[in-house]
Amino acid sequence: MPHTNASLPALLDGCAVIPVLTISHIEDALPLAEALVKGGLNVLELTLRTPVALEALRLIAAEIPEAIIGAGTVNTPELLTQVTDAGARFAVSPGHTDRLLDAAENSLTPLLPGVATASEVMHLMERGYSMLKLFPAEAIGGRELLKSFSGPLAHAKFCPTGGISPDLAPSYLSLPNVVCVGGSWMVSAQDIANRDWAKIETLARAAARF
């Protein structure tokens, strides 16, 4: 039986906001994840955009058991294998390819694949996926696009990400086809560079109330 991401809703249960992390310095990994978890956000997406990302993933997975750590930017089958080995509980991609979906079918790590069009939603639903990342959400129509999808693609559920601010997040979350939103507003590069973990925790706490 090929794997889809049917296990994702249970893994993300109760999570409305997924912080999208980009870590440039390995020594930031643990205090950053700790601040988010303390603020009430325990599902984290760590992007593979920096040279230390895999090591940071491994560290958070090993040291912070309260965190449900997933990997973002998982754009190839090779990366899916690497993040699985590093301890990722789920993987996220900005889009999808047949190679990536074939690899995900044989992986125990559930994939949240990215979509931007109705055809892509149909393609993924045909392959057994009903929970999808809408990316880049704001740039491609955001809430209006999701409302338009809800009629003809009623069974698809989304985690919109890309350009979502704390002002916009609640109105995304009020849509019936939105399960959670992803965003980086509570983990800005500037706050991480300042090692302002208290501010990040405060922003996380506000997001956890959405």
CA 185 to CA 169: how far, in whole Å?
Answer: 11
Catalytic residue among 34, 133, 138, 201: 133
Residue 142 makes contact with ligand ELE by CB under 6 A: no
**CA distance readout (Å), 61 to 42, 104, 124, 148:** 12, 20, 29, 38
DSSP-derived 3-state class of residue 72: strand
Q: Which of residues 4-33 bind ligand ELE (CB under 6 A)?
A: 20
Tell me whether residue 34 is one of the annotated catalytic residues.
no
Q: Which residues have a Cβ under 8 Å from the Cβ of 163 and sit 6 or more positions away?
A: 136, 137, 138, 139, 142
Site string for ligand ELE, 146-185 (x = CB under 6 A): ---------------xxxx-----------------xxx-
Site string for ligand ELE, 31-60 (x = CB under 6 A): ----------------x-x-----------
**CA distance readout (Å), 109 to 5, 47, 198:** 8, 16, 32
Q: Which is nearer to ligand ELE, 138 or 201 (CB)?
A: 138
Q: How far is the CB of 136 from ligand ELE (least distance, A)?
A: 7
Q: Nearest to residue 163, comparing CAs of 126, 197, 198, 138? A: 138
Residue 82 makes contact with ligand ELE by CB under 6 A: no
Q: Which of residues 95-134 bind ligand ELE (CB under 6 A)?
A: none
Q: How far is the CB of 164 from ligand ELE (least distance, A)?
A: 6
Q: How far is the CB of 170 from ligand ELE (least distance, A)?
A: 15
Mark 31-57 as b/e (b = at least 16 C-beta within 10 Å).
ebbbbbbbbebbbbbbbbebeebbebb
Residue 72 makes contact with ligand ELE by CB under 6 A: yes
Tell me whether residue 120 is one of the annotated catalytic residues.
no
Q: Which of 94, 110, 113, 160 binds ligand ELE (CB under 6 A)?
A: 94
Q: Which residues have a Cβ under 8 Å from the Cβ of 126 and sit 6 or more positions away?
A: none
Q: Which is nearer to ligand ELE, 45 or 201 (CB)?
A: 45
Q: Which residues have a Cβ under 8 Å from the Cβ of 149 and sit 6 or more positions away?
A: 118, 121, 156, 158, 177
Please report, as ranges, the residues that interact with ligand ELE according to CB under 6 A: 20, 47, 49, 72-73, 92, 94, 135, 161-164, 182-184
Active site residues: 45, 133
